[in-house]
Structure 1
Amino acid sequence: TDRAPVYVVHFTQVAALERAQALTSVNVATRAERDAIAEAIGGFRFSAGFGRTLSRLVRHGIGVHHAGMLPRYRRLVETLAQAGLLKVVCGTDTLGVGINVPIRTVLVTALSKYDGQRTRHLSAREFHQVAGRAGRAGFDTAGTVVVQAPDHTVENERARTKAGEDPKKLRKLVTRKPPQGFVSWGEPTFERLLAAEPEPLTSSFSVSHAMLLNVIARPGDPFTAMRRLLEDNHEPRAAQLRHIRHAIAIYRALLAGEVVERLPQPEPDGRQVRLTIDLQPDFALNQPLSTFAVASLDLLDPSSPTYALDVLSVLESTLENPRQVLQAQRHKARGEAVAAMKAEGIEYDERMELLEEISYPQPLKELLEHAYDAYRRGHPWVADHELRPKSVARDMAERAMTFAEYVGFYGLARSEGLVLRYLADSFKALRQTVPEPARTEELRDLTEWLGELVRQVDSSLLDEWERLTSPVEGTGDVVVRDEVPPAVTSNVRAFRVLVRNALFRRVELAALRRYDVLGELDVEAGWDADAWANAMASYFTDHDQLMTGPDARGPALLLIVEEPDRWLVRQIFDDPAGDHDWGISAEVDLPASDAAGEAIVRVTGVNRLD
């Protein structure tokens, strides 16, 4: 219609995707329009999981857009929308910020949202931000904004319409009440937001240890510089005084910690104090706890088989928490614990009590917390930043999973963009923070593997200059170009780790006797669940256990013969007797691996070599 494209605004990612999927039952695009979309998409790579869902949606002329998506998927939707090929975009308010697309109608599904603490009405600024998508300058001369009434209001109006003007039916009419705790809205709410001026912007200015240290490190008198920062601004006087008192308290703490010292005589530029320590380059522009991370590496043993993973755990403790991932880890851990406790016959009340102690994995937590407390006494500015032990990148490495496997294992399809951004941050921390003397070969392998994993999923997070989509200059055609990352086999160090992980994943599953999962991995190679079960039955006749510790996953137990288009590999089992006579033989298809962006392994045998 002349009201399309329509932007349907939701305030949860789940609701946006559900609405988009529901709309596929309606032909929102003509056959010719769907053909144009297919031509524009071309050979764009949609991965398993959410990628396949998005492929089906956009080919119907329906887009989805929210912060949990991979950047390349968001850019795909934006490009198709900018070309006018999508009739409907279902999203959160991410499309309402900083993206110029030709939207004629904005349909707001609610005038209330959960802000992380409570459900409240939208502010005038939030409403105007999303409503302003309609009729953008340069695309249209007018736009339409529609607000959907609450479900209970819609049902009540339908019931009244059905009753008509019959007094008896109207008297018997039972209206539906809103759910308990529901923050309702109506036409008065809409009119108020429509007429209201956007609220004034709230200052986020704050004084921190890092700010004072940076100012003191500059040439000139730091007291004069801080006075100008704290008073020459638009903050109310009460807020300025509050910042000044906080700055004085921080300065006294720095003096007490002997991080700052007074000079006997002022210097010619007016300086009266100086730092007693050397700050890292780009201090406070990089991870604020990176100096703590570097100092903590001295607590680790480079000869330990878990050293590389322990270094990763130190760095992960300095990164922001990916909340959805940690919630999924905790949910998975508690589910597995409940199953184990039921098998042991533990009563319900005791199970519930024990579950409270189960959280997401936090390697080295006790060591890091003690180190943090000690470091903070000599470096008081770190108190501005919380230590957050966790295991996401390490968890993926230990489970020897691909990105798609990890997302599927924890049910994170709607948050895969968040997962990838976190992995990219972990890779950057490894590259930028760990000093050269602390880098072992295993740590270099881990770093290269993590970087290549991120690059193969979405290279834009590491190579910002690459663009996924672009129009062809000089024509009216729209081309969605999938920027293919470098061939995965070109980074030999990283590819070896990918191969090792693919084979060790099978070792772990075999140790757990998960022949059903192994069959799903290798059925195309002729190794279904029964074939795996039969082969491993022979192994367990010889050995009562299959080891999966650090030695089992090490490079010493992986043999590789490199040929032009394939690698012949042998993953040796780490058996309790140390015979190392059993293992998995496989071929690695190099061209197929480059096409897929991951190691394509074909199992050829699981046997004992005499």
Structure 2
Amino acid sequence: MILDTTDTSQESSRVQKPLKAYLPHHGALDGEAILDRFLEWVSEQKITPYPAQEEALLELMTGRHVILSTPTGSGKSLVAQGLHFKAMCEGKRSFYTAPIKALVSEKFFDLCEQFGPENVGMLTGDASLNWGASIICCTAEVLANMAIAQGEEADAPYVVMDEFHYYGDRDRGVAWQIPLIQLPRTHFLLMSATLGDTSEIERKIESRTGQRVCRIHSEERPVPLDFLYAKTPILESVEALLQGKKAPIYIVHFTQRAASEQAQGLTSAKITNREQRKAIGEAIGGFRFDTPYGPEIKRVLRHGIGLHHAGLLPKYRLLVERLAADGLLRVICGTDTLGMGVNIPIRTVLFTQLCKFNGEKVSLLSIRDFKQISGRAGRKGFDEEGSVVAQAPEHVIANQRIDEKMKKGSSRKKIVRKKPPERGFVNWTKETFDKLIWSPPEKLESRFRISHGLIISFLKSADGTDSEAPGYHGLGDLITQSHEPAANLRTHRREAARFFRSLREAGLVEVESATEGGQRVRVSRELQRDFSLHQTLSLYLVDAASALDREAPDYALDILAITEGILQNPMPILIQQQRKARGELIAQLKADRVPYEERMEKVEKVTWPKPSEDFLHATFDLFSAKHPWVGTDAIRPKGIARDIYESSSTFDDWVKRMEITRVEGVLLRYLGQVHNTLEQSVPEALKTDEVEDMVGFFRAMIGRVDSSLLEAWENLVQPGANADPKAPSSAVPREYDLVADPKALRARIRGELQQLVGALASKRFEDASHLLNPESQKNWPPHRFEEALAPYFEEYEAIIRDTRSRQAHFCVIDEVSPRQFRVRQVIVDHRGDNFWAIEGNVDLQSDGNPADPLLRLRSISE
């Protein structure tokens, strides 16, 4: 078998010298010499390139764009390395983009190994490393933002766009299209295993750049696939695959609940032996499964079963990926995130069904989705072939068993044949499976669209310049050059004009006189630097928030209600809120002896909490009357974050109270959206101290549960827009200093103190220790908290953690020397004595915005 890339551990062991060693020491090389050097390195790795790889490399070296459409594992990464090598030989920069941060991070480390860490940088939102490097790994949105900000002047001579089929994604596709329009001097390598017809895209790129596009397609796989349509119950299918030595198996589900339930069900099967379970335990080591769902995940993992879906916390998904990469998991139950390029090496893909909900209705899988997922089967360098298995519908399998029993005469009972589900189901057959296997992917369609956020980005690009371009005119040029059919261009221009007028009416953009005469358009100077409108209804948020009375006692809560109202509904959480509310009402009505029919009538009217519902609907009706472009979008009242904030709940407490352990990751992601929207989409002028405290409260909560989401936020949205391409290699796009923003500093300190108060109130002393700065954690182990608070709990029933404990005068923050602060948080008791307090320090001398908690605890005492 031919090995063609350096992605696996076997291949890495063959590396003689990194690519960096083949770079010229003096002067630039021509394309032929560069190709010769690169192929010399390839030969040293004992790699024999496929014809498609050779053709792609040759076309790139001659200065053409390349669209590379070859199967997963067929060596597209090798071609990308060739383009990065060409750029470095010429003393130029190159970019690698991918749709998800995990892929960007993975590629970053791969390229560091070959080109040296000093030559590779990364920018994803999670990390900003070495921005001035010759090779930059980033998400597609980062490159799109840079393309908007810098246009043709962007220092991006070469760009690799991986997983280019995202060009056709309904929500994100525009980010893949913008660089193709805004960077006409760039040479592109566009790669995917499932591109389909790209002829129109090729024509547009050639027209815009003046360079020929070469499309290279191959169906040759390094690891061939076999296919099976299974008519046995899924447990039997899994056991047969394990016995046939076809593990690891990824079982594909299309709901998070189904994946979780399947993982639980498989724990009764014999998946692993004692030695394998011991190895898993050693690999897990001291990992903290410290959230409500953590113990369940740990139990499943110890059976050799992984769980992987977006409802899990990021840290649990990363743990599953690490254990899978080490070959310790024999079965993984997950959702179709596998098709997004998640790095989980597997031998077999098992589809539980061939239909899914596509956001509007349940339909059969698209050919592209099927091929993206099934193409992950087969581990290059380990397997001679991969397997793709599709389960027949459950009712078909059950009825087949009934027919078999009837033929044998083994059942004398009256047999009732099983019917297909009436809802959420579209039938599929063996013919459906065959069509998905052998048909080409659907044609990639342009998903260009105008949004308020796009307009703001273009206008920001002109800030600090003396001309309208590229900001004002750049948007019009983008529409003209877009890949949309000509018939759609007028619609996009009208939509852009409507959006611009609404932004101007809201005071978010200004028209002013230009120095050379005439007028120029810019973003309002009163807005914070990082103001953004990335939610569809963000403009409504500004409009409705401006109508509130800042002096009203519930002003901050009303801001929160509007913020939650513009976000998408996290339905698993809302349904559970509704179920809990109905259960409480039924219990009350039963106690009051209300008749059954009347009880049910009252219960049917109960939904999830919708604070400020009348205000939201009234203001939204006025807004939509002025702005008909909102179309079918509607306000979505809900009170998830509000309930957490008003009750001063910890994350774990609220998850347990709502009984949503299986979707705690959904809650964390939702709270992250609330935090980001409050921070970035509420204009600075509308933020009171309590609103700032609210932001700090949610920031501290998110950081306590899983800091990876916060790290993404701290680097902010659009990190590439204002990056200086000539900055030194140690530079990052922006550094945030809390000391320069006293309101944000105060909010963060107060938020962290409130999280600590919550942990102490619940007597979760281990959690309390982890809420301290690492320098303090070693001095404050859990038992010390217990000892310090023992006298308090002898005197008082509990620590109060509600709106009373959040009153501003109970938290004192004093700057005792430059960048050093003394803090004191009063512990509120039920008698109102309030003699006890938490005292500590905050030191920002070495880091203006540390990812770790700020508090260095001195004492908890009277």
- TM-score normalised per structure 1: 0.70
1:145 is paired with a residue whose SS is: strand
Match of 1:71 in 2: 314
Q: For 1:36-435, list aligned pairs within 5 A.
A: 36-137=279-380, 140-162=383-405, 176-179=417-420, 181=422, 183-208=426-451, 211=454, 219-220=468-469, 228-240=477-489, 242-243=491-492, 246=495, 280=527, 281=529, 284=532, 286-287=534-535, 293=541, 306-372=554-620, 386-433=634-681
Q: Is the 8 A contact 2:531 2:683 kept in 1?
A: no
Deviation digits for residues 368-390 of structure 1, max 9, x if unmatched? 44555666788887789654433
Matched AA of 2:674 = S
User: CA separation in 2, counterparts of 1:201 and 1:19?
Assistant: 34
Q: 2:830 aligns with which of 567, 573, 596?
A: 573
User: CA separation in 1, counterparts of 2:314 and 2:488?
Assistant: 38
User: CA separation in 2, counterparts of 1:47 and 1:170?
Assistant: 50
The structure-2 alpha-carbon separation of the partners of 1:549 and 1:306, relative to structure 1 and needing over 3 Å to count, comes to: farther
1:456 is paired with a residue whose SS is: helix
Residue 110 of structure 1 deviates from its aligned partner by 1.3
Q: Is the 8 A contact 1:214 1:283 kept in 2?
A: no
1:120 is paired with a residue whose SS is: strand
Deviation digits for residues 486-506 of structure 1, max 9, x if unmatched? xxxxx8633431354467789
Q: Is the 8 A contact 1:63 1:86 kept in 2?
A: yes
Matched AA of 1:423 = L
User: CA separation in 2, counterparts of 1:492 and 1:213?
Assistant: 32
Deviation digits for residues 116-168 of structure 1, max 9, x if unmatched? 5443322212221221120144554420111122233323433455566x7x8
Q: 1:496 aligns with which of 742, 750, 753?
A: 753
User: CA separation in 2, counterparts of 1:142 and 1:279?
Assistant: 61
User: CA separation in 1, counterparts of 2:712 and 2:500?
Assistant: 39
Q: Is the 8 A contact 1:257 1:377 kept in 2?
A: no
Q: For 1:587-598, list aligned pairs within 5 A.
A: none
Residue 247 of structure 1 deviates from its aligned partner by 5.0
Match of 1:515 in 2: none
2:828 is paired with a residue whose SS is: strand
Deviation digits for residues 217-245 of structure 1, max 9, x if unmatched? 85249897566434434334444455456
Q: Is the 8 A contact 1:372 1:387 kept in 2?
A: yes
After alignment, is 76-85 or 360-369 more displaced?
A: 360-369
The structure-2 alpha-carbon separation of the partners of 1:502 and 1:101, relative to structure 1 and needing over 3 Å to count, comes to: closer
Q: Is the 8 A contact 2:452 2:533 kept in 1?
A: no
User: CA separation in 1, counterparts of 2:595 and 2:328?
Assistant: 58
Residue 17 of structure 1 deviates from its aligned partner by 1.7
User: CA separation in 2, counterparts of 1:297 and 1:223?
Assistant: 27
Matched AA of 1:146 = V
After alignment, is 42-51 or 429-438 more displaced?
A: 429-438
Matched AA of 2:654 = Y
The structure-2 alpha-carbon separation of the partners of 1:348 and 1:393, relative to structure 1 and needing over 3 Å to count, comes to: same
Residue 588 of structure 1 deviates from its aligned partner by 8.7
The structure-2 alpha-carbon separation of the partners of 1:186 and 1:295, relative to structure 1 and needing over 3 Å to count, comes to: closer
The structure-2 alpha-carbon separation of the partners of 1:144 and 1:371, relative to structure 1 and needing over 3 Å to count, comes to: same
> Where do 5+ consecutive residues of structure 2 fail to align?
1-241, 463-467, 715-747, 764-785, 787-792, 813-823, 841-852, 856-862
After alignment, is 440-449 or 146-155 more displaced?
A: 440-449
Residue 364 of structure 1 deviates from its aligned partner by 3.0
1:462 is paired with a residue whose SS is: helix
> Where do 5+ consecutive residues of structure 1 fail to align?
467-490, 507-524, 526-531, 540-546, 560-566, 575-579, 591-596, 600-610
Q: Is the 8 A contact 2:531 2:681 kept in 1?
A: no
Q: Is the 8 A contact 1:262 1:272 kept in 2?
A: yes
Deviation digits for residues 83-110 of structure 1, max 9, x if unmatched? 1111110111112312122211111111
Q: For 1:549-560, list aligned pairs within 5 A.
A: 550-551=803-804, 554=807
Q: Is the 8 A contact 1:296 1:314 kept in 2?
A: yes
1:84 is paired with a residue whose SS is: coil
Matched AA of 1:232 = Q
Q: Is the 8 A contact 2:647 2:803 kept in 1?
A: no
Q: Is the 8 A contact 2:827 2:838 kept in 1?
A: no
Q: Is the 8 A contact 2:561 2:611 kept in 1?
A: yes
The structure-2 alpha-carbon separation of the partners of 1:173 and 1:141, relative to structure 1 and needing over 3 Å to count, comes to: farther
User: CA separation in 2, counterparts of 1:294 and 1:19?
Assistant: 44
Q: For 1:508-547, list aligned pairs within 5 A.
A: none
The structure-2 alpha-carbon separation of the partners of 1:409 and 1:97, relative to structure 1 and needing over 3 Å to count, comes to: same
User: CA separation in 2, counterparts of 1:77 and 1:221?
Assistant: 45
Aligned residues: percent identity? 40
Q: 1:6 aligns with which of 246, 249, 261?
A: 249
Q: Is the 8 A contact 2:502 2:627 kept in 1?
A: no
User: CA separation in 2, counterparts of 1:375 and 1:119?
Assistant: 33
Match of 2:180 in 1: none
User: CA separation in 2, counterparts of 1:84 and 1:502?
Assistant: 37
Q: Is the 8 A contact 1:557 1:573 kept in 2?
A: no
User: CA separation in 1, counterparts of 2:374 and 2:420?
Assistant: 27
Match of 1:481 in 2: none
Matched AA of 1:342 = K
Match of 2:177 in 1: none
Match of 2:19 in 1: none
User: CA separation in 2, counterparts of 1:404 and 1:283?
Assistant: 31
- TM-score normalised per structure 2: 0.51
The structure-2 alpha-carbon separation of the partners of 1:196 and 1:314, relative to structure 1 and needing over 3 Å to count, comes to: same
Q: Is the 8 A contact 2:398 2:418 kept in 1?
A: no
